[in-house]
Amino acid sequence: MSKGWITACHRRRTMPEIVKLMQGNEACTMGALAAGLDFYAGYPITPSTEIAEMCSEELPKVGGRFIQMEDEIGSIAACIGASLTGKKSMTATSGPGFSLMQESIGYASLCEIPVVIIDVQRMGPSTGMPTSPAQQDLMQARWGTHGDHAVIALAPGNVKECFDLTFKAFVLSEKYRVPVIVLTDEVIGHMREKVIMPDPRTYKIPVRAMPATPAGYKPYEADPDGGVPLMAPFGKGYRWHCTGLFHDEKGAPSGKASVAETLLYRLKRKIEKNEAELVDYFAESMEDCDVAVVSFGSSAMAALSAVRKARAQGLKAGMLRIKTVWPFPDAAVRELTKTAHTIIVPEMNQGQMALEVERVTRCNAKVVKLGKVNGDLFRPEEVFEVLKEAF
């Protein structure tokens, strides 16, 4: 049934909504296909492999391309190459593979090439526990590649959001010409939930802004204050140079301080300036909460349960589940301190998001790190115990 939906999506045909039981990895793939995915390159790795398998089956049907590369380094490189020809490209991986991709994520960032990377997080470091969930790549998603750089990362909190946020990843990646990372985890990736897929015609497929003519085309000409240059596809007569060296607006390599400064400033500003559009979170019972829970991904499912239980017992607890983890929603988190004296941060790592919460709240609330790194997922009662004690 979903396959008919994919074809309808690809052909921009209308069809009635469908109800389907699917896993997160499947929903990510559906979201990508709905957004017009043309190209997938990847390397098998647990717990992300279903995405590659599904792409290998579905893409040929809609005239797309799938390739299993020799490693994750090659996978991201091939995706960037394909994106330069104007194709919407994606790869999916998990911790070790995500580490291998970092260099070229930086390349995509500096060269401003749209690409979507799904990281289905598993326990690390190293090979770790390949089939166990974790949220340990939060900081890697932000700072994994070397150098100051711009990046967007989205973290779905349920299966339907895997679809929605992967779709959104393409929208943002094409619009801002940045690599966008979808950070899911083993629980979300493999969990099955009921998803209602709407009429494919209701989706507005993202379209990359392209220049009108090769005459006078400057590949990196844009407003220095966060503008996004128009991207010409390779093979259309623009004959431009794409380089990972610092480059001027013509794309020519440059070692000048002023050129480097201008470029890095623009790359930073293009995310910063658009934070209002980028920031996305789910909030519940926040207005009057004394204790807030800030979380993301599958940990937030247990956390929300705990918050609701607390409310049912008359405790003023609130929940903020962050969907756009990078750029971090500073304002929304800061807002919590207006009522909350304590913020609990359950996450399957040793406190990566808690660090951000501490940075933002600046001692105006007590931040409780609730890290879990044993390969086990959170249970609602674990969060509830900590929550209850905080009142």
Partner 1 sequence: MAEILDYFRKERLPSIWCPGCGHGTVTGALIRAIDKLGLDKNNIVMVSGIGCSSRAVGYLDFDTLHTAHGRAIAFATGVKLAKPNLKVIVMTGDGDCAAIGGNHFIHAARRNIDITTIVMNNNIYGMTSGQYSPTTPHGMLGTTAPYGNVEYAFDLCELAKAAGATYVARATSYHVTLLEDLIEKALQNKGFSVVEAMTQCPTYFGRKNKIGGAVELLNWIKDGTINVKAAAALPPEKREGKILIGELHRAERPEFTASYLEMTSKVQRTYNDYKGGNRGCELNSD
Which residue shows structure tokens 């790359």? 267
> How far is 49 from 154, CA to CA, in rounded Å?
20
Contacts to partner 1 from residues 3-22, by CB under 8 A: 4, 7, 10-11
Contacts to partner 1 from residues 348-387, by CB under 8 A: none
Residues 91-110 as x/- pattern, contact with partner 1 by CB under 8 A: ------------xx--x---
φ, ψ for residue 70, nearest 5 deg: -80, -15
Find the binder of partner 1 among 129, 139, 205, 252 (CB under 8 A): 252
The stretch among 92-100, 130-138, 157-165, 242-250 that binds partner 1 (CB under 8 A) is 242-250
242 binds partner 1 (CB under 8 A): yes
Q: How far is the CB of 62 from partner 1 (least distance, A)?
A: 7
State whether residue 131 is helix, strand or coil.
strand
Residues 37-76 as x/- pattern, contact with partner 1 by CB under 8 A: -xx-x------------------xxxxxx-x-xxx-xx--
Find the binder of partner 1 among 201, 209, 237, 385 (CB under 8 A): 237
Closer residue to partner 1 in complex, CB, 78/278: 78
Q: How far is the CB of 114 from partner 1 (least distance, A)?
A: 13
231 binds partner 1 (CB under 8 A): no
Other C-beta atoms lying within 10 Å of the C-beta of residue 277: 11
Q: How far is the CB of 210 from partner 1 (least distance, A)?
A: 14
83 binds partner 1 (CB under 8 A): yes
122 binds partner 1 (CB under 8 A): no
State whether residue 21 is helix, strand or coil.
strand
Q: What is the 3-state secondary structure (H, E, C) of 258-310?
A: HHHHHHHHHHHHHHHCCHHHHCCEEEECCCCCCEEEEECCCHHHHHHHHHHHH
116 binds partner 1 (CB under 8 A): no
Two structure tokens written together for 328: 């971090």
244 binds partner 1 (CB under 8 A): yes
State whether residue 142 is helix, strand or coil.
helix
Please give the span between the terminal C-alpha atoms of the chain, in angstroms, as a whole number. Answer: 49
Strands 152-154 vs 179-185: parallel, antiparallel or unpaired: parallel
Number of chain residues interacting with partner 1 (CB under 8 A)? 47
> How far is 182 from 258, CA to CA, in rounded Å?
33
DSSP string, 194-212: EEEE--GGGS--------S
Residues that bind partner 1 (CB under 8 A): 4, 7, 10-11, 38-39, 41, 60-65, 67, 69-71, 73-74, 77-85, 87, 89, 103-104, 107, 234-245, 252-253
